[in-house]
């Protein structure tokens, strides 16, 4: 199959490289000259484990290339995927579909022969209808089918998620489109990847509903963690106890500083707006957003209390800045309100992240960036673990204590055991566990 991937962001680049690895001929298209030039030089604009090698291998094999010229890429394609950004629209929280609609018009002008146009971007219900309308308006003679194929990729594990998916959702009522998409995903039949065919609007809603439900699980366990701290229970054991119930499941029951990233905050806000537009308020999802925003802001107060309600003039070391490990993504990362809150209360902040510091400098310019965890901890009054990078799971606690001015650790990811920290002489504060401090 010949595939054109419109957009070389996270979804487009990962999807394009994986499709090429399946044996398809993929051309990734982007309007950004500098990004395409960098990709042609083998420079990957995002951090994703394994992606650089996967791109290089498929470029070398002649299955993957990059261009700014959409016309020949679309004209030769059997399938065209729209994988452009749908950020929250400033002011109202709706998904900004301007990039999707611009791509649809550009695609329409370049279509030749029967082509399936697939939205892989996360889009509100009914977007596929508008994409089809725009294509037919721009090119009335086009032989085209428009489908929805939402992505379910976790940053840091995207390649494995693509090649070993829980499910592949295809939204279309066109039999020709089903055959094309079935052929595209046929290599996954060896991994027994389940393909679910459904209506286009249903596929669009599945993506939003999935993210909102996972965000709800995270927020639920975070509120249980707050209660656990008050009553002397251990939220990790609570999560294990309820997660063993197959109806609930263990995933996304890890208490922490709140969810962030490119998907959950944006998609839950968009889902609330979609529902309100249809006069169907989603009270649970609205509450999830409110609780999560409040939680992220509250993390600075947790550090404040750990330091005896005094932050002015104190030095706080922050380990981990990205919203999760194995990515350089800073979008809506809990570290941002945490650090901002610490600065507002008069603290001096030093930080280290294995791969995210260059991205973080755009969001947090007024802090000191360090070369490693121990340099970050030197002479600090408190250390805060924000992102559970594997590098932070095996710190030399003796050395860490020697570097610090005060042996105070606020562990927002429950990386360490309270008894272990006590043995090393730390005043240890974690999430939802007894014996704080």
Active site residues: 263
Radius of gyration of the chain (CA): 24
The three-class DSSP label of residue 64 is strand
Buried b (16+ CB within 10 A) or exposed e, 366-399: ebebbeebbebbeebbbbbbbbbbeebeebebee
Which pair of structure tokens corresponds to residue 257?
């500083």
Q: For residues 245 and 217, is the Cβ–Cβ distance under 8 A? A: no
The residue with tokens 């032989």 is 143
Cα 167 to Cα 2, 152, 189, distances in angstroms: 23, 9, 11
Backbone φ and ψ for 182, nearest 5 degrees, come out as -60, -40
CA 389/CA 156 separation, integer angstroms:
11
- Spell 130-149 as b/e; 16+ CB within 10 A means b: bbbebbeeebeebebbbbbb
């Amino acid at each position: 199959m010949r595939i054109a991937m419109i957009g070389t962001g996270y979804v487009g680049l990962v999807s394009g490289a994986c499709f090429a690895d399946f044996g398809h001929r993929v051309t990734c298209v982007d309007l950004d000259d500098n990004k395409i030039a960098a990709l042609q030089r083998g420079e990957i604009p995002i951090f994703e484990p394994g992606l650089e090698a996967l791109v290089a291998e498929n470029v070398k094999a002649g299955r993957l290339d990059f261009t700014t010229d959409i016309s020949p890429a679309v004209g030769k394609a059997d399938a065209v995927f729209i994988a452009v950004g749908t950020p929250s629209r400033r002011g109202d929280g709706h998904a900004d579909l301007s990039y999707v609609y611009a791509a649809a018009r550009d695609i329409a002008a370049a279509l030749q022969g029967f082509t399936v146009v697939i939205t892989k971007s996360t889009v509100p219900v009914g977007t596929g209808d508008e994409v089809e309308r725009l294509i037919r308006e721009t090119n009335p003679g086009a032989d085209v089918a428009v489908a929805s194929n939402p992505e379910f990729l976790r940053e840091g594990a995207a390649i494995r998620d693509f090649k070993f998916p829980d499910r592949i959702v295809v939204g279309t009522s066109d039999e020709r489109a089903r055959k094309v998409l079935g052929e595209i995903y046929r290599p996954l039949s060896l991994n027994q990847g389940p393909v679910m065919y459904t209506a286009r609007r249903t596929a669009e809603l599945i993506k939003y509903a999935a993210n909102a439900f996972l965000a709800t699980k995270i927020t639920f366990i975070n509120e249980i963690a707050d209660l656990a701290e008050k009553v002397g229970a251990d939220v990790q054991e609570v999560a294990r106890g309820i997660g063993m119930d197959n109806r609930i499941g263990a995933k996304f029951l890890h208490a922490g500083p709140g969810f962030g990233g490119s998907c959950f905050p944006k998609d839950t806000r968009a889902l609330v707006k979609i529902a309100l537009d249809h006069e169907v308020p989603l009270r649970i999802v609205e509450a999830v957003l409110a609780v999560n925003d409040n939680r992220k802001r509250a993390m600075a107060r947790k550090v404040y209390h750990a330091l005896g309600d005094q932050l002015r003039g104190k030095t706080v070391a922050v380990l981990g800045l990205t919203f999760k490990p194995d990515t350089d993504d800073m979008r809506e990362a809990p570290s941002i309100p945490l650090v901002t809150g610490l600065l507002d209360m008069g603290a001096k902040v030093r930080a280290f992240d294995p791969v995210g510091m260059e991205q973080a400098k755009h969001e947090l310019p007024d802090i000191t960036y360090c070369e490693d965890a121990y340099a970050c901890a030197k002479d600090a009054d408190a250390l805060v673990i924000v992102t559970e990078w594997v590098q932070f799971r095996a710190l030399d606690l003796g050395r860490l204590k020697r570097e610090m001015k005060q042996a105070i650790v606020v562990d927002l990811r429950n990386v360490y055991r309270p008894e272990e920290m006590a043995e090393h002489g730390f005043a240890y504060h974690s999430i939802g566990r007894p014996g704080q401090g």
